[in-house]
Amino acid sequence: MNFTPKKLVPFPALTVPTAVWARLAVKIPLVGQSVHAGFPSPADDFIEEMIDLNQVLVANPTATFLWRVVGDCMVDVKIFSGDVVVVDRSMSPKHRSIVLAIIDAEPTLKRLNRRGGVMVLHNENAKLPTFTIAEGTDVSIWGVVTATIRQLAK
């Protein structure tokens, strides 16, 4: 069977589109020898790529989704209404994970605790009554919360 592996497709993978050329110029720090500069910059050898927040906040982009928080059940762990949470679906929930749980079809943030072999969900808000789940309620874990993003000024 005539078959070429994906990575070896010479076209268009190796073509740098003009739009990208122009865009790269905006994103990469512009230090270096230009025609009119007499001396090379002493910093040239130390140029690195810019810090990318995705590298820190998103371990697995394919399985990561962002959700907006509109409740106060996690305020004791500093997750407030209006925050954005980073949710990774590929991570296995563990004891003490903060998870996005689907409880009776409603998406909600909860702390996951293991109590004697049983997984228990609860709120992180001392002002709320203890969270309990009625028997027969549908519960599933949508993903594990790995970070919160809160913008303080724009």
Q: Are 91 and 99 in contact (CB under 8 A)?
A: no
Q: Which is nearer to other proteins, 13 or 46 (CB)?
A: 13
Q: Is 66 in the site for other proteins (CB under 8 A)?
A: yes
Which residue from 57, 63, 128, 133 is in contact with other proteins, where contact means CB under 8 A?
Answer: 63
> Comparing C-alpha atoms, which of 67, 100, 72, 97 is closest to residue 84?
67
* Closer residue to other proteins, CB minimum distance, 97 or 108: 108
Residue 74 CB neighbour total at 10 angstroms:
23
Nearer to other proteins, 18 or 55 (CB): 18
Whole-angstrom distance, CA of residue 1 vs CA of residue 141: 43
Residue among 58, 86, 108, 112 that touches other proteins (CB under 8 A): 108
Instruction: Evaluate whether 126 touches 74 at the Cβ level (below 8 Å).
Output: no
Identify the residue among 54, 90, 113, 132 touching other proteins (CB under 8 A). Answer: 90
Q: Interacting stretch for other proteins, rule CB under 8 A, among 38-46, 51-59, 68-76, 127-135?
A: 68-76
Nearest alpha carbon to residue 101 among 79, 120, 125? 120
Distance of CA 40 to the CA centre of its chain: 39
Rounded to a whole number of angstroms, the minimum distance from the CB of residue 21 to other proteins is 6
How near is the Cβ of 116 to other proteins at its closest, in Å? 27
Q: Which H or E run includes 22?
A: helix 18-27
Tell which residue, 54, 7, 45, has the closest CA to residue 27. 54
For other proteins, which is the closer residue by CB, 28 or 43?
Answer: 28
Site residues (CB under 8 A) for other proteins? 1-7, 9, 11-12, 15-23, 26, 60-63, 65-71, 73, 84-85, 89-90, 100, 102, 105-109, 140, 142
